[in-house]
Structure 1
Amino acid sequence: MSELSSRARAGFTERFSREPSGVWRAPGRVNLIGEHTDYNDGFVFPFAIDRSTVVALAPRDDRTIQITTAYTDDIVRIGLDDVTPAALSGWSAYPLGVVWALGEFGADLAAARGFDAHIDSDVPIGAGLSSSAAIECAVSVALTEVWDLGFDRERLARVGQLAENKAVGAPTGIMDQSASLLGRADAAVFLDCRSLDAEVIPLGFDAAGLVLLIINTRVSHAHATGGYADRRASCERGAREMGVSSLRDLDVDDLDRAAQVLDEETFRRVRHILTENQRVLDTVRTLRLEGPEAIGDLLTASHVSMRDDFEISVPELDVAVEAAGAAGAVGARMTGGGFGGAAIALVRASELPVVADAVTAAFAARGFREPELFTVTAADGASRLD
């Protein structure tokens, strides 16, 4: 993290010819289980990871905002008064959307000063590890301090979600921002997306000798495009036809009735959400009572549901999950919004090389692009670095 912070400071100084006031970080996240349940007011169980986005930032004496990143030579300039969702596009919609959303949640933007910011990251983009929420949360914690807003983490999670929904145009829920802001080391965040009640649950991976292997398929995805929005629309249609405001108002006992009321595709979409909510509850309970070795079947069942009922997997994700399981992983599933990105495999540390080699070999045998493999640990949420 110190290397990333130094890199961001150096990038800021190079672009703006002055020193930043500080460097703030926000981690990416892995969702251990609970996919597409968040925007259905359901349950999710993500954790912050030890890969982060950092923002080096300093206020200006005028009302101009300038933002750069380590990944482009672009410099985006805009006046504070001009920051609206309609005016934003491209990568800068993520940080600038946060500026607008802070105003929507009570920040007095008319009294705010502009700022210069430089963004760097080691969260893989497009891998389902929420690089977008990491940007949003890093910027929101930085501006909360620089502008002396006093916003708590729960409000900042809603700020990030609003920015992504309205400024970026991705109809995501609140899970990613909550994990990035509320995460704790060797623990996951059990989040009720209706009440926003959050409980930090110890994972116990370290004590059990387990590691979480990330299998980045390198198949890129984009949440602002059709597949994600189509699934959300299916869920809303299913809730409406079942006579409830949200699928959270249903549970697995309602599946028989749903099969009678809904068309076949909508039923399968709804079945995924209801069974996935139950799997989250079962995972939390199993961790508490039996420990992390016992959650493997729940992880794998989650993948099957996403593959068959929600239809958001791709062949590379399926091969990753199947190969990891066959090589001895405790459990495996795709993670994130789907249509590409990453799979996760819960693996005994002693068996990590065998599982990793099996996945790589399976990809080669199918002619897929070589996957990017690395492990992550559960980390603390967003903070100031220096």
Structure 2
Amino acid sequence: MTPEAIARTLFRQKFERNAELTVYAPGRVNIIGEHTDYNEGFVMPCAINYGTAVSGAANDRGIFRVYAADLQQYDEFSLRQPIIPNPEKKWSGYVRGVVKFIQQACPQFQQGADLVISGNVPLSAGLSSSASLEVAVGKFCQQLGGLALSHTDIALIGQRAENQFVGCQCGNMDQLISALGQQDQLLMIDCRSLKTQGVPIPPDIAVMIVNSHVKHDLVAGEYNTRRRQCESAAAFFGVKALRDLSITQFRQREAELSAIDKDTAKRARHIVTENQRVLDAAAALGKGDLRRLGELMAQSHDSMRDDFEITVPQIDYLVELAQLALGSSGGARMTGGGFGGCIVALAPFSKVEAVRKIIADNYRKQTGLTEDFYVCRASQGVRIC
């Protein structure tokens, strides 16, 4: 069953009435442009055909009663009292945070609701299960209250919930692509202006995702540290964000910064070069130049490994295996915040089985872990079902 069907069915069982509204928001995979979003730079993700459904109906109690199907847990909170985190249920922070900031943006929103959440985005895999939940809840509230919020507004409310309520200082990419994704296209996003440009995926190209099953936790991990280092580097160069720094400008003072703080210099080098790689990758894909795209993805991975230092040995090994199978006909790299999660590969469909086989034959032997392998489609963003 789809997440939408599961959510509707469970809503009927748990609340003994039919759902009035079902919303679905996809997860995402980022093809290139990692950690550039909170540096106001460029990213190129796509929404994927895995996501989160929220099915529910209004109630007249002024409360939200929420059932998370995948975790078999309830949460309940009032709209007439300050909305605060529930430390016993981490997932509930994404729901409570969105509702809290929906109320701040639209104080007239006081409509209680009963809802069921169901999703099939792998958790802690770097595929934005949290953003898909935030965007789905935001769209549900927008429809429930008849609120004048655009999909971009909903995405930014989701980001705010994650930053200020959950405590992860993520950028805006994950929520934006979940809200604005386009069928059969990557979306190049300028994370400062919020302008987007669709980049069609050639019909013979597959988007492969391999889950390493090394779990990550960006709140407890070093994500927030990386953001602080980037902000320090921007201050050193006297720019608003590292997006404003060209590669040439960085090189002119790289040694000076490195002498002060070697790690901060390395973080800045990744961001500055990664921004350029996104622009170059969009151009390469537009020309159907998979060899060049593969080179850029390889450079991106090396930069994440050596300069941003967010990969782990299992992820590096998966990329190595995938690239062996692909040769010059595509590219592979880590995707997501880092410290585990997934790799992504783009290549002709004719290469899918070769990639699947080399990983199946070697990954478990080397690491003791068993991968999950997905062939995804670039999908539409948030929608009413």
Report the residue type matching 1:195 in the other structure.
S
**C-alpha separation between the residues in 1 aligned to 2:222 and 2:136?**
27
The normalised TM-score by structure 2 is 0.95
Paired letter, 2:207: L
Moved more, 37-46 or 350-359: 350-359
Q: Where does residue 354 of structure 2 map in the other structure?
A: 354
1:380 aligns with 380
Report if aligned partners of 1:28, 1:131 keep a CA contact under 8 Å in 2: yes
Say if 2:111 and 2:144, in contact at 8 Å, map to a contact too: no
Q: Secondary structure at 1:142's aligned position in 2?
A: helix
Pairs within 5 Å for 1:48-63: 48-63=47-62
Structure 2 spans left out of the alignment, 5+ residues: none
Matching of residue 250 in structure 1 with residue 249 in structure 2: no
Alignment deviations for residues 12-46 of structure 1 (CA, whole Å, 9 cap, x no partner): 11111111112110000010100000000111111
Q: CA contact under 8 A between 2:304 and 2:311: conserved in structure 1?
A: yes
Are the counterparts in 2 of residues 286 and 294 from structure 1 also a CA contact under 8 Å? yes
CA distances 1:264-304 after superposition (whole Å, capped 9, x unpaired): 21111000000000000101112223445541111111101
Distance 1:258 1:54 in 2: 48
The answer as to 2:293 corresponding to 1:295 is yes
Partner of 2:172: 174
Which of 317, 328, 344 is residue 319 of structure 1 equivalent to? 317
Deviation at 1:149, TM superposition (A): 0.1
Residue identity matched to 2:301: H
1:111-130 equivalences under 5 Å are 112-130=110-128
Once residues 185 and 274 of structure 2 are traced to their aligned partners in structure 1, the CA distance between those partners, rounded to angstroms, is 20
TM alignment of 1:126-141, pairs within 5 A: 126-141=124-139
1:113-154 CA-partner distances (Å, limit 9, x unpaired): 100110000111111110000000111111111100021111
Residues 77 and 83 in structure 2, CA contact (< 8 A), matched pair in contact too: no
Match of 1:339 in 2: 339
| Letter paired with 2:356 | A
- Corresponding residue for 2:6? 7
Counterpart CA distance in 1 for 2:107 and 2:145 is: 9
Is residue 85–residue 93 contact of structure 2 (8 Å, CA) maintained in 1?
no
5+ residue gaps, structure 1: none
Are 2:85 and 2:96, in contact at CA under 8 Å, matched by a contact in 1? no
1:1-386 to structure 2, matched below 5 A, reads 3-86=2-85, 90-109=90-109, 112-204=110-202, 206=203, 209-262=204-257, 263-292=261-290, 294-328=292-326, 330-385=330-385
Please, what TM-score do these two structures have when normalized by structure 1? 0.95
Instruction: State the distance in 1 between where 2:369 and 2:383 align.
Output: 36
Tell whether the 8 Å contact from 2:295 to 2:331 is kept in structure 1 after alignment: yes
Distance in 1, matches of 2:158 and 2:8, equals 24
Deviation at 1:333, TM superposition (A): 0.2
Q: CA separation in 2, counterparts of 1:121 and 1:374?
A: 16
Q: Give the whole-Å Cα distance in 2 for the aligned partners of 1:226 and 1:125.
A: 16
Q: 1:107 to 1:158 in 2, by over 3 A?
A: farther
Give the Cα separation in 2 of the matches to 1:52 and 1:86: 24
Give the number of aligned pairs. Answer: 379
How much does 1:82 deviate? 2.9
- Asked if the contact 1:295–1:331 (Cα under 8 Å) also holds between the matched residues in 2, the reply is yes
One-letter amino acid matched to 1:146? L
Please say if residues 83 and 96 of structure 1, whose CA atoms lie closer than 8 Å, have aligned partners that are also in contact: no
Report sequence identity in percent.
38
The worse-fitting range, judged by mean Cα deviation, of 218-227 and 336-345 is 218-227
Could you report, residue by residue, the CA deviation over 1:173-215 in whole angstroms, capped at 9, with x for unpaired residues? 10001101111111011111111111222122x1xx2211111
State whether residues 332 and 346 of structure 1, in contact with CA within 8 Å, keep that contact through their aligned partners in structure 2.
yes
Q: Secondary structure at the match of 1:327?
A: helix
Flag the 1:332–1:84 CA change in 2: closer, same or farther, 3 A.
Answer: same
CA drift of 1:341 comes to 0.3
Local SS of the residue matching 1:117 = strand
Counterpart Cα distance in 1 of 2:343 and 2:298: 11
Report the RMSD for the aligned CA atoms in angstroms.
1.5
Aligned counterparts of 1:160 and 1:288: Cα–Cα separation in 2: 31
Alpha-carbon shift at residue 342 of structure 1 (Å): 0.2
- Read off the aligned partner of 2:75 and give its amino acid letter: V
AA at the equivalent of 1:244: V
Retained in 2: the 8 A contact 1:85–1:166?
no
Q: Which amino acid aligns with 1:213?
A: M
